[in-house]
Structure 1
Amino acid sequence: MKTILIALFFLQATFSFAETIADVKFNKGYDNIAVSKSSDLVLKLNLQKGVPYQVLVLQQGIDIMLILADETNPKIQEMDSPNGRFGFEILEFVPKETKLFTLTVRKFEEETNADKGVISFYIKKFTPKEIALKKQTEKELAIENTKNVLTLDIDHFWEAFDKLKICKNHWDSVMCIQNLYLDKATDGLKDFIRVRNFSAEGFVNTLTKLPKYYASVRPFTYESKKSEPLIQEVFDKLKDIYGNFKPFKVCFAIGIHNTGGTVSDRFILLGTEMITACKYVDFSELGDNWKPSDTQKEPNIPLSIRGIVAHECIHTQQKSKLSPNAVVCNQLNSCIHEGAANFIGELLTGTTNYSAVNEYGDSHENMLWDEFKSTLCSGNASNWLYNGNTVKDRPADLGYYIGYRISQAYYTNASDKRQAIIDIIDMDDPLTFLQKSGYDQQKKN
């Protein structure tokens, strides 16, 4: 028995460091295969003409690239996503003829990369039925992508969510999310995937941790579709008050509970599972800090979304770079950007989604400003923004309030209100903007 165990261990170790896997099975997961800088891993694939194949290689501590080749072409495709040492490399291919191909998994040569690591992989061979569904989805997406407000990703997510119930193992679940949700992404979700580095693995891990949360938030995510006319009102008002308006779109998608809203260069991207969560959602897997107060009003999700979009749409218009003459002042700059989005968003809608932050800020304004000013140009704003997991004894994100009050002071003191709106949105010199707002002088008085 001891000899057999030693032989099995040797066989497993040999496979883990093997340079070639000659008979790769499709629609089957291969886990925890070692990769190092000393040798490539070569997969030999017998591919059929006209059949789509999808290769997913999960990087687990090492950054790799994929190189697809045949006997006549040493590089048919090469794939290296900018996701570092973790996450998926995905390669898709439809052969023009039936023959043997090789897929090389090669360590990416970079000083910051690990010398060795582990990868797992799965190669999907699509069935005729799946190919037909892909073509149908392409037609649906062509229509959806022409819209200003995209919501189809919500339906695709819950379709995948329902199919998870019949998945037999982890790879089944990963491929379910990949093929039924991420592969069917609208243009907006494609941006979301890139901006937030979403992966099927990340979704499966999150859904495993938060099944009650996602199941309970589901009916409220559909409510977001009712907000489309309200979003159009925000578009129209912003065009009217801001002469430098640049068109953009809105995408409602389901994320991994780490982003309520962000932007790309063409979309407002909304994590619908977060922005529609209300007191009727099961927060037990997240803890008490996430649960809304039972005393809050009945949720009006479309109106709440209108406020979120009004805030985020200002981010689509703001400048990402400072003026060449500006002094770098990161903390102030970041907080003015967020506060300006709140202030202009309030002008657009007449309401705010930040009442708790504003109420606390109004009661402690002088103290907050003195504290903020003492670290005015800190390299980051982590003590003032996006600090819900670390802040204690007061509301998170009070930098929104500081930036709001500076923007409000600038607007109040301006004789030309229309120009003031342009100045606030186009702000690219935070220290000069603060000085012109008169806010600090106002606090001294």
Structure 2
Amino acid sequence: MKRKCWLYLCTLLFATTIHAQTVFHTKDIDNFFQAFDSVQTTTDQEKQIAFVQQLYLDRGSLGVKYAITHSVDGGKIATAKYWVDLMTQSKENIIRIRPYLNNLPSQMRILEPKFKYFKEQYPDFVEGNVYFVFGLGMFGGRPEGNDLFIGSEVVASEKPDWAVSIVLHEYVHTLQKKSNNALLAHCLNEGACDFIAEVINQKNLRDSYPNGYIDFGYQHEKAVWKEFKKFIASNEKGKFFDWLYGTKGRNINGLQMKDLGYFMGYKICKSYYDRSTDKKQAIKDIIEMDVSTDEKARAFLLKSGYVPKSDLKLIQNMSFTKVIEHKKGVKLIQYGYKLEKSQVVFTFELPKNIDKSQVQYITIAGTFNGWNPQNLDYKMTNIANNIYQLSLPMSKLKEKNHEFKFVINGDNWQSVPENAKNTQNGNLTLEIP
């Protein structure tokens, strides 16, 4: 009887890594790859669907149930067939990232003491669950209440500790108060997550992500602030002016960089922390900051001490209103594709700053192929000079609405052009009537 109890306990510990009541669920990843390997053994789609249903979906945790209801646009429920399509259309990409997911148990052993330290620094920490799942490319980190869902296929990388900073950042979101979703408030919330993750991880974000937006921000900080302050007065919810969420980014000193709104929020929170004598209280203030209104967001910005003296009156006296970014001579067009009879014809012009001799291939990655830039079924043909094209039957795209991007050599994702009117979430959009 004792032996059975011991075996049961070992099985439970293998499935999850536990510290106190915070649980890191990684078993869904094991189940996914068991289903993936099984799908490769047959070309019979009914059998493939049965493998995914039985080995991945039916065995799934709450994280998989979340992926089922949050992985398809329009509130649709994702069925086993969606994952079969992913496994067959993005097979090479799944094989490529598989080693990055194999080390999740070792990363959980890193996260356990980090969460313990988190609780020591922030006594009001609320326990929850962290689910690592293999979704359909629709989310990377998604907090819901006290739980956190990690779309591993989106965020996994070759970095041996890729999950640590991501989990710490996203978990802070589960502890925050609701934002009013205008630019300043949103940047403060995201920047708070970056900064608190850095404090808890005890590792500088510039070291974690060399050449990323934090590193860039430090190098061009005065210019970034000069540009950012033009948009602080915006009161439009969800209008972020390319400061957030992987859109084309802002041009600073002639250089383009994405996600600089994170950097601004990070630096404001860091300034607040550095000026505070009671560091634990500062952590509490940053996590629990109230940015539910524009005025409260401004109050935190001013209290942080980050605003240069020369700009204090500007920030103190500004009125929150609709901010219009003037782009002279920009005519918005539908970009990247056209519909011809039963075909979708994708067209891409190589930017002038890219040497054509360095281009090995150009592909299209989007919601229709699991965002896999290395799927050569979506490789474009050079039809004239720097013009590349690919025609696909509309029937192959199945759904009516899609998002996509052009990718050079499998890893150089091309930004959405400034004059494109068919955009969403920083991607190009495609609509089939």
Same fold (TM over 0.5): yes
Partner residue in 1 for 2:289: 427
Asked if 1:347 is matched to 2:214, the reply is no
CA distance in 1, matches of 2:91, 2:249: 25
Asked if 1:399 is matched to 2:246, the reply is no
Q: 1:221 aligns with which of 97, 101, 112?
A: 101
Please say if residues 314 and 425 of structure 1, whose CA atoms lie closer than 8 Å, have aligned partners that are also in contact. yes
> Residues 442, 166 of structure 1: CA spacing in aligned structure 2 closer, same or farther, 3 A cutoff?
farther
Partner residue in 1 for 2:242: 383
> Residues 384, 253 of structure 1: CA spacing in aligned structure 2 closer, same or farther, 3 A cutoff?
same
Shift of residue 390, structure 1, vs aligned partner: 7.0
Q: 1:180 aligns with which of 39, 45, 55?
A: 55
Shift of residue 160, structure 1, vs aligned partner: 0.8
Partner residue in 1 for 2:37: 162
Deviations 1:209-234 (A, max 9, x none): 32211012112211111112211112
> Residues 146, 358 of structure 1: CA spacing in aligned structure 2 closer, same or farther, 3 A cutoff?
closer
Please say if residues 249 and 260 of structure 2, whose CA atoms lie closer than 8 Å, have aligned partners that are also in contact. no
Q: Which moved more, 1:347-356 or 1:399-408?
A: 347-356
> Residues 442, 206 of structure 1: CA spacing in aligned structure 2 closer, same or farther, 3 A cutoff?
farther
CA distance in 2, matches of 1:189, 1:225: 18
Shift of residue 329, structure 1, vs aligned partner: 5.8
Q: Secondary structure at the match of 1:262?
A: strand
Shift of residue 199, structure 1, vs aligned partner: 4.2
Identity of aligned residues (%): 31
CA distance in 2, matches of 1:411, 1:233: 22
Partner residue in 1 for 2:68: 193
CA distance in 1, matches of 2:181, 2:85: 38
Deviations 1:142-171 (A, max 9, x none): 994794121111111011111212343545
> 2:266 is matched by which residue type in structure 1?
Y
Q: How does 1:113-128 map to 2 (within 5 A)?
A: none
Partner residue in 1 for 2:163: 305
Asked if 1:439 is matched to 2:297, the reply is no
Shift of residue 269, structure 1, vs aligned partner: 1.9
CA distance in 2, matches of 1:403, 1:332: 8
Q: How does 1:12-31 map to 2 (within 5 A)?
A: none
Asked if 1:333 is matched to 2:191, the reply is no
> Residues 331, 174 of structure 1: CA spacing in aligned structure 2 closer, same or farther, 3 A cutoff?
farther
CA distance in 1, matches of 2:289, 2:81: 39
CA distance in 2, matches of 1:406, 1:431: 11
Partner residue in 1 for 2:219: 363
Equivalent residue pairs, number: 279
Deviations 1:334-356 (A, max 9, x none): 11111111111111112223442
Partner residue in 2 for 1:9: none
CA distance in 2, matches of 1:144, 1:382: 43
CA distance in 2, matches of 1:371, 1:240: 38
> Residues 427, 195 of structure 1: CA spacing in aligned structure 2 closer, same or farther, 3 A cutoff?
farther
Q: Secondary structure at the match of 1:386?
A: coil
CA distance in 2, matches of 1:370, 1:257: 35
CA distance in 1, matches of 2:199, 2:268: 15
CA distance in 1, matches of 2:224, 2:249: 17
CA distance in 1, matches of 2:270, 2:220: 17
Q: How does 1:225-244 map to 2 (within 5 A)?
A: 225-244=105-124
Partner residue in 2 for 1:252: 132
> 2:308 is matched by which residue type in structure 1?
Q
> Residues 315, 442 of structure 1: CA spacing in aligned structure 2 closer, same or farther, 3 A cutoff?
farther
TM-score by length of 2: 0.58
CA distance in 2, matches of 1:252, 1:187: 10
> 2:195 is matched by which residue type in structure 1?
F
CA distance in 2, matches of 1:242, 1:358: 24
Q: Secondary structure at the match of 2:243?
A: coil
Please say if residues 213 and 263 of structure 2, whose CA atoms lie closer than 8 Å, have aligned partners that are also in contact. yes
CA distance in 2, matches of 1:318, 1:442: 29
Shift of residue 194, structure 1, vs aligned partner: 3.5
Shift of residue 400, structure 1, vs aligned partner: 1.1
> 1:165 is matched by which residue type in structure 2?
Q
CA distance in 2, matches of 1:373, 1:199: 46
CA distance in 2, matches of 1:401, 1:150: 30
Please say if residues 243 and 249 of structure 2, whose CA atoms lie closer than 8 Å, have aligned partners that are also in contact. no
CA distance in 2, matches of 1:305, 1:229: 11
Q: Secondary structure at the match of 2:123?
A: coil
Shift of residue 188, structure 1, vs aligned partner: 2.9
Partner residue in 1 for 2:26: 151
Q: Which moved more, 1:402-411 or 1:424-433?
A: 424-433
